[in-house]
Amino acid sequence: MKKIVSSNYSIWIGENSLSELNVKSYSKVAILVDENTKKDCLYKLPNIEKPIIIEIPSGERNKNITTCNIIWEELTNNEFDRDSILINLGGGVIGDIGGFCASTYKRGIDFIHIPTTLLAMADASIGGKLAVDFNNLKNHIGLFSNPKSVIIDPNFLDTLPENQLISGFAEVVKHALISDKNLWKTIKETPFKKLAWEKIITISAELKNRIILNDPKEKGERKKLNFGHTFGHAIESYYLEKGTPILHGEGVFMGMILETEISILSNSDKNEIKNYILANFGLPYTPPKAELLKFLKNDKKNKSKKINFSLLNGIGRCIIDNLLTENEL
């Protein structure tokens, strides 16, 4: 088992990491699940005395304030006080909404993330960003708040559908492209099905943790993590508005292709990245840029009406705050 120390909490990674789940000191314990993590993951948790199970419907379309009401109501009806804790057992949706609800319930109760998707293990559970979607705008309402701990057991991936595994892999590819040339080499040279998940998750989690420790509130270096996400979020919002949501990682893969095109890279690097993604992962149709503009204009990172991109200036290197006008896209 590996322990990564973050600002005021630890991230445990490995087959025995669930032994670090200790909630005995809390007055009440709730476990947030969706229908899939209830079925495939809940039984794998160590015994907890009389937990309240809060189930919400799965999927991005439910990462909204209406679903928050279900969670806040359950906590209220079960008389959760400030000494109680919420365990978020699931993917990035459960982690984001569970952390958001815990951090706002009675001005904040403790929460623990137990991520069960690759995306949540390698990325979403680390860094304290919590949010819900609002009026088809991704992560529009949220805050920064850290969990008490993050417990990552890669065995949860055994039941994860392959498209979800691929979606999570987009964030791993992003981590490699923005700051780890060796990881990019491993990814490129190893067939997807042969990748060693525990090792990949550990490298990815360490890399993200290093960045957020340097810049917890996204004033500088942390913005590198937005590579692929400016276009990626716009594409996700486009599909969300159409009523046919795509997976987050699919949006990020398409976003990375579009943002590679406007990056400061040699043509051979651009082709290497685009060809790798296109050859290995079937992606939905990429909407024309004109259709994405209204979402790009609402991006939280924009400055003086310009769209703010984190772009590559080499494989394994990233520069932040590239401000582009609509016409420059």
Ligand X SMILES: NC(=O)c1ccc[n+]([C@@H]2O[C@H](COP(=O)([O-])OP(=O)(O)OC[C@H]3O[C@@H](n4cnc5c(N)ncnc54)[C@H](O)[C@@H]3O)[C@@H](O)[C@H]2O)c1
Catalytic center residues: 107, 129, 171, 208, 218, 222, 226, 229, 233, 248
Contact pattern from residue 126 through residue 165 relative to ligand X, giving x for each residue in contact according to CB under 6 A and a dash for the rest? -x-x---------x----------------x--xx---x-
3-class secondary structure, 66: helix
Residue 235 CA to residue 287 CA, distance in Å, equals 7
Minimum gap (Å) between residue 17 Cβ and ligand X: 14
Within 10 A of 41 (CB to CB), how many other CB atoms are there? 23
Instruction: Identify which of residues 46 and 313 has a Cβ nearer to ligand X in the complex.
Output: 46
Indicate the residue whose CB is closest to ligand X.
92
Nearest by Cα to 41 from 1, 87, 86, 89: 89
Smallest gap, in angstroms, from Cβ of residue 328 to ligand X?
Answer: 26
Nearer to ligand X, 168 or 307 (CB): 168
Q: Which is nearer to ligand X, 86 or 120 (CB)?
A: 120
Angstrom CA distances, 213 to 22, 217, 298, stand at: 25, 9, 28
Q: Buried b / exposed e across 181-195, counting CB within 10 Å, b at 16+?
A: eebbebbeeeeeeee
Give the C-alpha separation, 139 to 300, whole Å: 9
CA dihedral 132, 133, 135, 141 (to 10 degrees): 50
User: Which residue in the set 84, 103, 104, 117 belongs to the binding site for ligand X (CB under 6 A)?
Assistant: 117
Residues found in the chain: 329
Other residues' Cβ atoms within 10 Å of the Cβ of residue 67: 20
Segment 268 to 327, residues that bind ligand X, using CB under 6 A: none
Q: Report the residue from 11, 31, 72, 91 that binds ligand X according to the rule CB under 6 A.
A: 91
Stretch 21-60: interaction string toward ligand X, x if CB under 6 A: -------------x-xx--xx----------------xxx
Distance CA 174, CA 122 (A): 11
Options 111-119, 290-298, 308-316, 320-328: segment touching ligand X (CB under 6 A): 111-119
Residue 134: CB minimum distance to ligand X, A = 13
Note the residues at the interface with ligand X (CB under 6 A): 34, 36-37, 40-41, 58-60, 63, 90-94, 96, 116-117, 119-120, 123-124, 127, 129, 139, 156, 159-160, 164, 167-168, 248
